[in-house]
Structure 1
Amino acid sequence: MAANAQDRRSAGPVGVGIVGGGFMATVHSRAARAARGRLVGVVSSRPERAVRAAEELGIENAFGSLHDLIADDRVEVVHVTTPNALHAEQALAVIEAGKHVVCEKPLATTVADARTLTDAAASAGVTATVPFVYRFHPLVREARARFASGETGRLLTIAGSYLQDWLLESGDDNWRVDSAAGGRSRAFGDIGSHLVDFIEFVTGDRVSMVAATKRTFFDSRAEHSAITTEDAVAVAVQTSGGAIGTLLVSQAAPGRKNRLHVELAGSAESVVFDQEQPETLWVGRRKGSLLIPRDADQLAPDAARLVTTPGGHPQGYQDAFNAFVADSYAAIAGEAPDGLPRFEDGLRAAAVAEAVMDSADTGTWVEV
């Protein structure tokens, strides 16, 4: 089993293992190092890839298998950064070994598997987190604080989008387009999950009903054919609190790289956050609208604690990821960081994605 909190506080840097050797492994390794983790080992799809990843990322050891990695007593937490279809099996193996786990989203490709992981982590008493890292932009926490304090009033409407262009053309390809590797949903499962998590985290309200339509613009790409996963999806939503809204998710929007944009209209004020311009938060009022900068002196305490550079020196995606991993390691040490996304949140995302896909397939409103 995992070490108790007192033991963890008195120990040295947390021992980190990474599963996977691609882009997300790079992001996780940077964040682990920033959080003063000891990068003990990495395992990849092939031994030679693990060796290369260890060299490139400055990790101490390349392991031949996941079994060997989690059997090493120096490894306390394992970051799972592999293709989606592998998450459930690999994360469960980590949990059953008594290790803490950070698992990339989607947590699993089915709700049943996500629930199995969530229950297993709770039973094992391990810290298990999933990187909904946009929660860790300081101005996202500022927006959340405004809703929690009642400044925004009652949530009325939602206008959200997450747009990318990396799969714009038929020659663009990736393992994610294959449902066997990525799961039933691609665009929504990959980035729409961030959008819904953002909305629910900031407002404290939950999406309760969805009506969706989806499109696959290319059923064949450079290395894949008979593609069924969606390139884009549009969703009408209702919330438990009575708000209504629309969501647009696309991986074929020219010029948009990672444009997560959300406008939340309350009865007293609106807030707008643009992930590609994360240094300001627009607060709209009938009289006297504001543009709030990422300046610790002007922010709520939970937002200010995430400010790591002076105003005018931008923070971005990697900074948010670093903060997420730092809070994950703090939880391993026995602390209780506010807003840390755990496996329960990964399970929630899986349930929303399933409802969206069911709605798109049936053409009806579906309850989440």
Structure 2
Amino acid sequence: MRKHGVAIAGAGFIGPVHLEALRRLGIRIVGLLGSTPEKSRAAALAQGVEKGYASLDELLADPDVTAVHLALPNVLHYEYCCRAIAAGKHVMCEKPLAMNSRETAELAALAARSNVACGVAYNVRFYPLNLQVRAMIRAGELGEIYSVCGSYRQDWLLFDTDYNWRVLEEAGGKLRALADIGTHWLDLVQSMTGLEIERVVCDLQTVHPVRQRPKGEIETFSGKNKPAVDREPVDITTDDAAGVLLKFAGGARGVLDVSQVTAGRKNEVSYEIAGSKASVSWNSEKPDQLWIGRRDQPSELLSRDPSLMAGEVRRYANYPGGHVEGFPDTFKQLFRAFYDYIEAGDFRAPATFPTFADGHREVVLCEALLKSHTAQSWVEVPR
């Protein structure tokens, strides 16, 4: 059992994902914070956690808490991050880091001068084969990168009766599909290739400008067989889908398709990276297979197997080949990197996890994408 004591703020879908991953690492969960004291107590009881906090003040005052995981609506991230850092707690925040680049710039600067670790939960980096691709690119096995193409597609908001707080601009921000899932892809490909996105052109699509919101806020993620409920129309200004063209530093090009209205795609992240020596292709619905393309010799299909992977990647692939590692495991490996870094104690050392600076970069990129859609033209991404 590690010495950390963690409190999780947020009892919805992603909060329990954090909790389960932390428990698998032997990290103690001290308490949970829900949207009300009653929900905090109910969540703590349901998850077998000691404390259900009545407020953020109570959570931050708890001397047993050394780190806080934030799994809350986006609009709360900035305030909760600021207050947690001020209380001397390490912070792991769900993305996006905050609602705009002014807030994320402040948080990145605050993290840089603090003596705590501050991370953003871009977990898709930590599929073992994505770490393998990063190692291959760093070793020069793909050569010069020519293009990066791919998609992130889901179907959970396909119908106009599908509803979640994320569809509302005031709760999640002006961008939704692109900010909610597209940023995972954008963070992933930049972390693997080491290339920075310099210019973008973006076209957003709102398939359902009006959605039918259940009275009582029953959410789509609660299940497909939802009971009949009274509904009310609500105007939607956020994007259900997006198409993006990218130009990377050094000349590489990119294409991204994002959708939360693609029937049958439950949570599919995919990419193909083309280089001068080889290409690679991966799909999260088959996370243990990496296709490696060759011009002058047979192409390969690499199965995730620690014995076949780069040395620095093996510690993030915990099961033998043929034993699939998927979505929950990415959080475990992300948190492994985060808490190993904390235990090393040098907060000026290069981070092994996505930082607040990375979270700031993604919000700056989102703002450039929104600006491009509005102008219907190419836009420079501010550095």
Do both proteins adopt the same fold according to a TM-score greater than 0.5, normalized to the shorter chain?
yes
Contact preservation (8 Å) 2:141, 2:277: yes
Instruction: Name the structure 1 match of 2:373.
Output: 360
Structure 1 CA distance, aligned partners of 2:83 and 2:134? 35
Structure 1 position 117, deviation (Å): 1.1
Are the aligned partners of 1:159 and 1:262 in contact in 2 as well (CA < 8 Å)? yes
Match of 2:291 in 1: 282
Report whether the alignment pairs 1:32 with 2:22: yes
- Please name the residue that 1:301 is paired with: 311
With 249-258 and 12-21 compared, the bigger mean Cα shift is at 12-21
- Kindly provide the amino acid, as one letter, of the partner of residue 295 in structure 1: D
Structure 1 position 246 matched with structure 2 position 248: no
Distance in 2 of aligned mates of 1:186 and 1:12 = 36
**In structure 1, distance between residues paired with 2:351 and 2:56:** 31
- 2:140 maps to 1:130: no
Residue 219 of structure 1 is matched in structure 2 by: 209
Measured after TM superposition, the shift of residue 341 of structure 1 is: 0.8
Residue 67 in structure 1 maps to residue 76 in structure 2: no
Aligned to 2:47: 57
- Per the TM alignment, residue 339 of structure 1 is displaced from its structure 2 partner at its CA by 3.6
User: Structure 1 residues 319, 254: closer, same or farther in 2, change over 3 A?
Assistant: same
For the Cα contact (< 8 Å) 2:167–2:238, is it kept in 1?
A: yes
Structure 1 residues 51-130: aligned runs within 5 Å: 51-130=41-120
Selected match of 1:291 from 291, 297, 301: 301
SS at match of 2:41: helix
Given that residues 135 and 339 in structure 1 are in contact (C-alpha distance below 8 angstroms), is that contact kept between their aligned partners in structure 2? no
Which residue identity does 2:115 align to in structure 1? Answer: G
Q: State the 1:337 CA deviation.
A: 8.0
Relative distance call for 1:319 and 1:46 in structure 2 (3 A) is same
Amino acid in structure 2 at the alignment position of 1:320 = T
- Offset at 1:264? 0.5
SS at structure 1 position matched to 2:353 = coil
Residue number in structure 2 paired with 1:6 = none
- What is the distance in 2 between the residues matched to 1:79 and 1:179? 23
Shift of 1:338: 6.2
Q: 1:62-95 deviations in whole A, cap 9, x for unaligned?
A: 1100011011110000000010111111111101
> Could you say what secondary structure the match of 2:211 adopts?
coil
Q: Matched residue of 2:316: which SS?
A: coil
Gaps of 5+ in 1: 1-10
Q: Deviations over 1:188-236 (max 9, x none)?
A: 1000100111110111111110001010011111226221110001001
Give the deviation of 1:12 after TM superposition: 5.2
The whole-number CA distance in structure 1 between the counterparts of 2:288 and 2:262 is: 23
Distance 1:219 1:59, change over 3 A: same
- SS of equivalent residue, structure 1 residue 313: coil
Q: 1:351 aligns with which of 364, 369, 376?
A: 364
Residues 341-364 of structure 1 show CA distances to partners (whole Å, capped at 9, x for unaligned) of 111111111111111111011101
Letter in 2 for 1:285: R
Distance in 1, Cα, partners of 2:305 & 2:128: 9
1:269 corresponds in structure 2 to 278
In structure 2, C-alpha distance between the alignment counterparts of 1:170 and 1:212, rounded to whole Å = 24
Q: Choose from 257, 266, 289 the match for 2:266.
A: 257
How far apart are residue 330 of structure 1 and its match? Answer: 1.2
Map of 2:177 onto structure 1: 187
Residue number in structure 1 paired with 2:242: 233
Query: What is the aligned partner in structure 2 of residue 331 from structure 1?
Result: 341
How far is 1:334 from its partner? 2.1
Aligned residues: 358
User: 1:338 and 1:142, CA in 2 relative to 1: closer, same or farther beyond 3 A?
Assistant: farther
> Which of 331-340 and 248-257 deviates more?
331-340
1:178 alignment partner in structure 2: 168
Give 1:51 deviation, angstroms: 0.7
Picking from 25, 33, 42, the partner of 1:43 is 33
Distance in 2 (CA, whole Å) between partners of 1:77 and 1:112 is: 25
